[in-house]
Amino acid sequence: MGRKIMFTGGGTAGHVTVNLALIPRFAEAGWKIHYIGSENGIEKQLTAPLEQLTYHGIATGKLRRYLDWQNVKDPFKVVKGVFQAYRLIQREKPNVIFSKGGFVSVPVVLGAWLNRVPVLIHESDLTPGLANRIAIPFASGVCTTFPETAQHLPSGKSHYVGAVIRDELRQGVASRGRAYCGLLPASEAADAAAAGAAGSSQTLGKTPQEQAAKADAAYSANPAKLVVSISGKSVDAAEPLAAMEEAERVETGGVKPVLLIMGGSLGSRAINKAVRSALGELTRKFSIVHLCGKGQVEPALETADYKQFEYINEQLPDVLAMSDIVLSRAGSNAIFEFLHLRKPMLLIPLTKAQSRGDQLLNADSFKSSGFCEVLHEEKVTPETLLAAIKDVYENRAAYIQRMEQEERRDTLSQLYELIVSSARE
């Protein structure tokens, strides 16, 4: 009889994507794969395309730190969930359970413990979240993304494995990303820029390099008055910054650099608001792909250089491949993906008022390694946001160089082996 693994984890994509990375490995090795999640959560949507997987929905309750009338109802849902998980595990008899955390995972870990099935938990953040803190006493081991997390775990249970990166994230193709987002393909943008330059008041060179040199020379000769033509439009670059930007655009063949904005898997209203307050300035310099979160797209704001999506799933590798820099929350999975792909980042971590402060720690750790710039939400204004984005973009080579020092470890294989070795016969 083949071996069987049960995954759990959900609530936000950060509690699902590690499972999505592992599932193909287990499927290839011939394991039967089951997933216990909530009835309608994001974990159900994200695992739906996987044919090799049997999904079981159970009742879930959120364990809140604040007062809410749901707090009265939810303990009953949690008890119901434990009972359902217990019965499912008893029936399916998995060899091992892997939990990526989130509230749905608590009843599953308890159900596994009651059935004496080994459970490995994964903690992506520097300090364990509430759901994992409740579950850890019932688990056989805890795999961590950060080495520092060991200090917050019972001795002997902690396994530092590092960040798990989905294989497909490495296979992105920039031109496919541009096509998906409706951004002008790089080659066409270069042609348009060259055509525009040919008929402009300033005759710029033929190649992007010649064009940049001419724009630089023109600006040095008369910094206060430089009119360049990009894509047929004359731009009065009276401001030194604007002149530099236009010269740079010419240098890149008329293609604006791409700024990817990811407010975590659910989107971030604070980031959305901040970005939209500075949209005019930002789109002068960047083509923006904004992952806004469910129900947060504003169609009226859409332009050739501002593309919004609620969430991008299969196409994310392509979109990442075409992105030059990233503005993001500091969720652990996302920032390690950016590090792996060498994307310079500006991070706006979730505040202590809205969370236990895990993203502040994640962001501090990345900043001290020189991988990102951090802008605290309390300090965000259109001006500070623009300055910080400009800073990251201008220093992008230095960020990339520091990220290049970071070894790319095969965490996925290591974690796979650890789970296999924890499984009961």
CB nearer ligand UD1, residue 252 or residue 351 = 351
- The four Cα atoms 83, 27, 143, 7 give a dihedral, to 10 degrees, of -20
Report in angstroms how near the CB of residue 313 gets to ligand UD1 at its nearest.
Answer: 6
Q: Is 166 annotated for ligand binding?
A: yes
Exposure string (b/e) for 30-50, b if CB count within 10 Å is 16 or more? ebbbbbbbbeebbbbebbeeb
CB nearer ligand UD1, residue 17 or residue 84 = 17
What is the Cα–Cα distance from 318 to 28, expressed in whole angstroms?
A: 24
Q: Is 14 annotated for ligand binding?
A: yes
Name which of 333, 417, 328 is nearest 22 in CA terms.
417
Residues with Cβ within 8 Å of residue 313, at least 6 apart in sequence = 46
CB nearer ligand UD1, residue 246 or residue 337 = 337
Q: Is 25 annotated for ligand binding?
A: no
Report in angstroms how near the CB of residue 100 gets to ligand UD1 at its nearest.
Answer: 8
Whether the CB-CB separation of 133 and 125 falls below 8 Å is answered with no
Name which of 355, 346, 356, 354 is nearest 396 in CA terms.
346
SS3 of residue 5 by DSSP: strand
Q: Is 265 annotated for ligand binding?
A: yes
Report in angstroms how near the CB of residue 391 gets to ligand UD1 at its nearest.
Answer: 22
Report in angstroms how near the CB of residue 143 gets to ligand UD1 at its nearest.
Answer: 13
Chain-centre distance of CA 180, in angstroms?
A: 18
Report in angstroms how near the CB of residue 253 gets to ligand UD1 at its nearest.
Answer: 28
* CA angle at 337 for the pair 276 and 423, rounded to the nearest 5°: 135
CB nearer ligand UD1, residue 143 or residue 262 = 262
The binding site for ligand UD1 (CB under 6 A) comprises 12-14, 17, 124-125, 262, 264-266, 291, 311-313, 316, 331-334, 337, 350, 355, 358-359
CB nearer ligand UD1, residue 219 or residue 366 = 366
Q: Is 359 annotated for ligand binding?
A: yes
What helix, strand, coil percent values describe the chain, rounded to 5? 50, 15, 35
CB nearer ligand UD1, residue 162 or residue 331 = 331
Report in angstroms how near the CB of residue 349 gets to ligand UD1 at its nearest.
Answer: 8
**DSSP 8-state code for residue 155:** T
Q: Which residues are annotated as a binding site for UDP-N-acetyl-alpha-D-glucosamine?
A: 12-14, 166, 265, 359
